[in-house]
Structure 1
Amino acid sequence: MKRVVTKIRDLDRALFRRVFGMKWEPFDGVMRMFTIAGSAGAIWGCIAFLAFVASGLELLNLAVPWTAIAGSWIVAEGTKHLFNRNRPFLWDAEVAPLIKTPSSSSFPSGHSATAAAGALTLSFFYPALAPVLLVAGFLVALSRVYLGVHYPFDVLAGVLIGTTVAALLLLLL
């Protein structure tokens, strides 16, 4: 079992190095923007509110995305305490993140959890916006690895949390 865990960890670190190493200066600012917008699910909450107002104040269109965003953030943040995984820049001194470094645990990514929950629930209510919402969600999640503050498996776990929370809420409808 220890051998499997070591192989997974090594794969995660190798994937991190690939993504983090693919720097393109014009893209750095875009990634920072998506990470800032994705903090605590802010972008998704704002989009949900604007869509709520534009849709004629349909309460479900606001309540479901906000609940999914909040629920996924709570699950992700709670899970961080169980794993207490060091962030990439703490593991490797050569990693210089492109943003202010978070102090919380690395696993799972809260940004990715809220991005998945927000993008999926909003896509459900506004299918015409789904391509833009899903690309934005992907960029929020990718930004966390690109900027050097999460490993790819942290992001994947966050996306799984957000997807699960969103799917459960949508199934309850």
Structure 2
Amino acid sequence: MTRLERLTAADTRIFFWISGYRHRPLIGLTSRFCSRAGDGFLYAILGVLLALHEEALGWLFLQTGLLAYALELPAYLLLKNTIQRDRPCDRHQDFQALIRPSDRFSFPSGHAAAAFVFATLISVVYPDWTWLALGFAWAVGCSRVLLGVHYPSDILAGALLGSLMALLALWGQGLI
């Protein structure tokens, strides 16, 4: 067995272990809520509210966020359409996702990437909110595994991608 095959097998085992918890009523409901909250509208609303509430820092946050998402989205699409990893619900015939995925491929997770863009920006611009933002980002990522549309490594890759694109945007704005 090659290293990649062992990694894929471990990822699949962890996926099925986590998926065992998804049928608990509170977990399923919470996962759906977290996943929907990570669809993107919340980031836009919070960015605009911060820009309106805090003239200087809020506008800088919004501008940096727009730059970060402008970097993250093409990188995410390039990776997803180049790697073309099947989603767990498509690869395993006996497994049903709890939601309908927005596209065909799973690696990296776009929800995790977007959540970690936002969390990384918050942690630098508003450091007092770091733990809440990172907790939310991980909740969004974990919800995608619990819902059956991503493997754990998809979430880790999305987290890395989102964090790197946010750091690049922060660096471009002179904030780090």
Calculate the TM-score normalised by the size of structure 2.
0.90
What are structure 1's unaligned runs of at least 5 residues? none
Measure, in 2, the Cα distance between the counterparts of 1:95 and 1:76: 26
Q: Tell me the distance in 2 between the aligned counterparts of 1:22 and 1:165.
A: 32
* 2:14 is the alignment partner of 1:15: yes
What is aligned with 2:2? 3
| Equivalent position amino acid for 1:7 in 2 | R
Does the CA contact (< 8 Å) of 1:65 and 1:121 recur in 2? yes
Contact 2:120 2:163 in 1 (8 A): yes
Q: C-alpha displacement at 1:139, in angstroms?
A: 0.6
For 2:51 and 2:168, how far apart are their aligned partners in 1?
Answer: 21
Pick which of 124-133 and 77-86 moved more: 124-133
**Deviation at residue 130 of structure 1 after TM alignment:** 1.8
Secondary structure of 1:44's partner? helix
> SS at 2:165's partner residue?
helix
Three-state SS of the structure 2 residue aligned to 1:100 is: coil
CA distance in 2, matches of 1:168, 1:8: 29
Letter in 1 for 2:77: E
Q: Aligned partners of 2:123 and 2:51: how far apart in 1?
A: 13
Q: Distance in 1 between matches of 2:130 and 2:105?
A: 31
The equivalent of 1:44 in structure 2 is 43
Deviates more, 1:66-75 or 1:131-140: 66-75
Structure 2 alignment gaps of length 5 or more? none
Q: Is the 8 A contact 1:68 1:169 kept in 2?
A: yes
Q: How does 1:91-110 map to 2 (within 5 A)?
A: 91-110=91-110
DSSP-derived class of the 1:132 partner:
helix
In structure 2, the residue corresponding to 1:94 is in which secondary structure? coil
User: Alignment identity in percent?
Assistant: 29
SS of match in other structure, 1:106: coil
Q: In the alignment, residue 38 of structure 1 is paired with which amino acid?
A: G
| Structure 1 residue ranges (4+ consecutive) displaced by more than 3 angstroms after TM superposition | none
Aligned to 2:61: 61
**Counterpart secondary structure, 1:76:** helix
- Matched with 1:171 is 171
1:128-167 pair list within 5 angstroms = 128-167=128-167
TM-score w.r.t. structure 1 length?
Answer: 0.91
Deviation readout 1:63-113 (Å, 9 max, x if unpaired): 112221332222112211111111001111222111123332111111111
**For the residues of structure 1 that align with 2:11 and 2:148, how far apart are their CA atoms?**
13
Number of equivalenced pairs: 171
* Contact map agreement 1:45 1:66 (CA 8 A) in 2: no
Deviations 1:135-165 (A, max 9, x none): 1111111111010000011111111101111
For the residue of structure 2 that corresponds to 1:93, the secondary structure is: coil
